[in-house]
Structure 1
């Protein structure tokens, strides 16, 4: 387990960054939508 975490493949790193970006982007879009609908309502 620790050996796998210490050994960083470029593919694994890219996948982690993509997942993190998608999570942040989705959270931002959802928050933006909630704010917009809150203002309209």
Structure 2
């Protein structure tokens, strides 16, 4: 696994992880908000 990440400096890796976490957390919170308020999306 680390062999794939050698070209990335740790700061870039941390930023990517934080971005993924924020994206997933925001999506979760929005989904939870929709469930709490009874909003349904017809997708």
Range of TM-score over shorter length: 0.7 to 0.9
Unaligned 5+ runs, structure 1: none
TM-score (norm 2): 0.70
Q: TM-score, normalised by structure 1?
A: 0.73
Kindly report structure 1 stretches of 4+ aligned residues shifted beyond 3 Å: none
Higher helix fraction: Structure 1 or Structure 2? 1
Instruction: Indicate the RMSD between aligned Cα atoms, in angstroms.
Output: 1.8
Q: How many residues align?
A: 34
Q: Which residue of 2 aligns with 1:28?
A: 28
Equivalences for 1:1-41 in 2 at 5 Å?
7-36=7-36
